[in-house]
């Protein structure tokens, strides 16, 4: 199993590491028991429920996990930053993996985690602005059992 | 490169390589051949057998050369179980190497029951549990001499006494101890022992099973009359000669080497724990291989540590899930009661013959910075 240069580059110099105090949305996926955990913090402008208008203007993350998990979080943060919420909900794990020039097969579950944790943060934002109905339409984290089966 | 992964494998000692080289070309003959060239190869094999027997205080006809530790473990467990048809229970420990664990699990296909003896938080097997588990239905007990991940040394003599009270064969996987610790199979009560050449500066693809006279076991491979009909196939003459040389070197240098390596290992541990909070030492504080330093670094994951170390030219190892491709961390650490999230942060430094003090000082300099960097990223770190 070997990582691409892109993975190693993001792993060694992860972008957007940190937290945002009073973030508009916070999302966590994964489980330390399984060996990976990601938390994303996002700020949104304008603060609307129009998914095509609202954009991620600031994004930070923290990750506990292997090399792939850290690289995925870093890449996913770069890909989601500046995008509208709609565009972010369209992101797939394959997009993140491709942007990293691929991941070893056993690490593909890590690429899921990145996209899902950011979408979880969007759900959190929508709930906070009073649109839990809209939040429900977004995927977010899988249930624990699904994660274990990957 | 700073190589601190000696429990995985070791470089071949140049003296071993020199001893082996003639047997590839000038003395390439088959030891089973009738001609004089064949006899010369036979003598080389038998000389190596003597050296190996000497190292573990066995008789020469109790040594069976194999391709390594895994094959020796397979022959011991399967061979003893299949050589009889009365007893149907195999006892092993929860922290064995996969070479033993997977072999035991395979035997359940043939109606054998497998009992795994649990260990305490230091990795020492529960002798009371073992005492309760053994019965007249037990055919073999296979418990390792020292664990590869944490280095804990098991109470072999006590285990063998329990085994022999019930007429059970006692096998030990001594892959991590042969060449590092003195072994006397007679006084330790060992019936069968597996060893591997490449763990003590011998060549890869070499090893042996020691089986005391009178222990009945079936061969795994059938064919010619090699190794007293117990392991068919032309002998790996250069490898066997190299293994013999490695045994000879260990015999004379083991005690000094152990002292030197223990000092370096303790220097490494003291050096990093002075600078890094929230470290957990894995394994027994004293009853542990002198070269092994297994630790859990809380709030970070082992593979990340290894990748960063690798970027600094430092080779170490981890029992973390992410290196094995499963979500489960090391079965050894879990058996010792270490929680999953902590076990994911395990890392193992294992020192050896060519480890120098300057290398240890470099790791002490670099490792705390790596941990700090990963803890900054980690959502589990304390603020």
* B189 and B291 together in one domain: no
User: CB of A64 within 8 Å of any CB in chain B?
Assistant: yes
- Percent helix / strand / coil, chain A, rounded to 5: 50, 20, 30
Q: CA distances (Å), A18 to each of A54, A112, B215, B377, in order?
A: 22, 20, 63, 7
The CATH number for B262's domain is 3.90.1150.10
* B20 and B137 together in one domain: yes
Which residue among B201, B223, B249 closes a domain?
Answer: B249
Query: Is A62 close to B377, i.e. CB distance below 8 A?
Result: yes
| CA-based nearest residue in chain B for residue A40 | B379
Q: Which residues of B touch A (CB under 8 A)?
A: 299-304, 307-308, 311, 320-322, 325, 327, 329, 340-341, 344, 376-380
- Whether residue B116 lies inside any domain: the answer is yes
What's the rounded Cα separation, in Å, for the pair B192 and B215? 8
Parallel, antiparallel, or unpaired for β B113-117 and B89-93? Answer: parallel
- Whether residue B383 lies inside any domain: the answer is no
The CATH number for B196's domain is 3.40.640.10
Range of the domain at B342: 2-7+254-377
Q: How many structural domains compose chain B?
A: 2
What pLDDT was estimated at residue A150? 34
**Residues of chain B contacting A70 with CB distance shorter than 8 Å:** 304, 377
% chain A with pLDDT above 70: 94
- CB count in 10 Å sphere of residue B100: 27
| Exposure class string for B214-224: b at 16+ Cβ within 10 A, else e | ebebebeeeee
* B194 and B273 together in one domain: no
Q: Whose CA is closest to B298, among B366, B383, B373, B380? A: B380
> Per-residue pLDDT for chain B (383 aa), expressed as one digit of tens each?
999 999 999 999 999 999 999 999 999 999 999 999 999 999 999 999 999 999 999 999 999 999 999 999 999 999 999 999 999 999 999 999 999 999 999 999 999 999 999 999 999 999 999 999 999 999 999 999 999 999 999 999 999 999 999 999 999 999 999 999 999 999 999 999 999 999 999 999 999 999 999 999 999 999 999 999 999 999 999 999 999 999 999 999 999 999 999 999 999 999 999 999 999 999 999 999 999 999 999 999 999 999 999 999 999 998 665 555 566 789 999 999 999 999 999 999 999 999 999 999 999 999 999 999 999 999 999 75
**Cα distance between the two ends of chain B:** 35
Which residue among B199, B217, B249 closes a domain?
Answer: B249
What pLDDT was estimated at residue B329? 87
* B114 and B50 together in one domain: yes
- Whether residue B170 lies inside any domain: the answer is yes
| pLDDT < 50 positions in chain A | 145-150
- Whether residue B272 lies inside any domain: the answer is yes
- Whether residue B61 lies inside any domain: the answer is yes
What's the rounded Cα separation, in Å, for the pair A59 and A51? 17
* B114 and B232 together in one domain: yes
- Whether residue B382 lies inside any domain: the answer is no
What's the rounded Cα separation, in Å, for the pair B4 and A50? 56
Minimal C-alpha gap between B374 and chain A (Å): 8
Kindly list the catalytic residues of A: 34, 110
* B186 and B287 together in one domain: no
Q: Which residues pair with A74 in a beta bridge?
A: none
* B240 and B349 together in one domain: no
- Cis, bond preceding A49 (omega within 30 deg of 0): no
* B153 and B290 together in one domain: no
ipTM: 0.90
* B349 and B211 together in one domain: no
Which residue among B249, B282, B305 closes a domain?
Answer: B249
* B263 and B350 together in one domain: yes
* B158 and B265 together in one domain: no
What pLDDT was estimated at residue B322? 56
* B202 and B283 together in one domain: no
Kindly list the catalytic residues of B: 322
Query: Is B301 close to A68, i.e. CB distance below 8 A?
Result: no
- Whether residue B268 lies inside any domain: the answer is yes
């Amino acid at each position: 199993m070997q990582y691409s240069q892109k993975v190693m580059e993001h792993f060694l110099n992860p972008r957007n590491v940190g937290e945002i105090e009073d973030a508009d949305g916070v999302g966590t996926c994964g489980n330390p028991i399984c060996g990976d955990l990601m938390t994303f913090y996002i700020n949104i402008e304008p603060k609307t429920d129009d998914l095509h208008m609202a954009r991620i203007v600031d994004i930070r993350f923290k990750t506990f996990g292997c090399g792939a998990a850290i690289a995925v979080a870093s890449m996913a943060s770069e890909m989601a930053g500046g995008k509208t919420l709609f565009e972010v909900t369209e992101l797939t794990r394959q997009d993140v993996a491709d942007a990293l020039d691929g991941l070893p097969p056993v690490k593909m579950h890590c690429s899921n985690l990145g996209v899902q944790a950011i979408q979880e943060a969007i759900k959190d934002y929508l709930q906070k602005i009073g649109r839990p109905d809209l939040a429900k339409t977004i995927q977010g984290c899988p249930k624990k059992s699904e994660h274990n089966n990957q | 490169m700073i190589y601190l992964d000696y429990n995985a494998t070791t470089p071949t000692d140049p003296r071993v390589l020199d001893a082996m080289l003639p047997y590839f070309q000038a003395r390439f003959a088959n030891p089973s051949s009738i001609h004089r060239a064949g006899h010369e190869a036979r003598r080389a094999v038998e000389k190596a057998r003597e050296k190996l027997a000497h190292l573990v205080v066995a008789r020469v006809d109790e040594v069976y050369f194999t391709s390594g530790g895994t094959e020796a473990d397979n022959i011991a467990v399967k061979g003893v179980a299949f050589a009889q048809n009365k007893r149907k229970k195999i006892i092993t420990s929860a922290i064995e190497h996969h070479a033993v664990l997977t072999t035991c699990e395979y035997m359940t296909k043939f109606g054998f029951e497998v009992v795994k003896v649990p260990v305490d938080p230091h990795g020492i097997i529960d002798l009371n549990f073992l005492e309760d588990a053994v019965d007249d239905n037990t055919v073999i007990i296979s418990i390792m001499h020292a664990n590869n991940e944490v280095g804990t040394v098991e109470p072999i003599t006590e285990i063998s006494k329990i085994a022999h009270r019930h007429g059970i064969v006692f096998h030990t996987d001594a892959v991590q101890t042969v060449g590092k610790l003195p072994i006397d199979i007679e006084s330790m009560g060992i019936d069968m022992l597996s060893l591997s050449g490449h763990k003590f500066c011998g060549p890869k693809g070499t090893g042996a099973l020691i089986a005391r006279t009178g222990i009945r076991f079936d061969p795994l491979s059938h064919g010619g009359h090699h190794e007293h009909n117990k392991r068919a196939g032309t002998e790996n003459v250069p490898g066997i000669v190299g293994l013999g040389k490695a045994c000879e070197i260990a015999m004379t240098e083991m005690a000094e080497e152990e002292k030197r390596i223990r000092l370096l290992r303790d220097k490494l541990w003291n050096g990093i724990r002075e600078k890094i909070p929230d470290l957990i030492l894995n394994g027994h504080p004293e009853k542990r291989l002198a070269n092994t330093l297994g630790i859990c670094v809380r709030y970070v994951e082992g593979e990340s540590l290894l990748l960063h170390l690798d970027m600094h030219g430092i080779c170490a190892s981890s029992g973390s899930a992410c290196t094995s491709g499963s979500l489960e961390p090391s079965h050894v650490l879990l058996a010792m009661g270490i929680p999953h999230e902590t076990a994911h942060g395990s890392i193992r430094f294992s020192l050896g013959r060519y480890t120098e003090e300057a290398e240890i000082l470099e790791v002490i300099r670099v490792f705390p910075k790596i941990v700090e960097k990963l803890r900054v990223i980690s959502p589990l770190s304390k603020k």
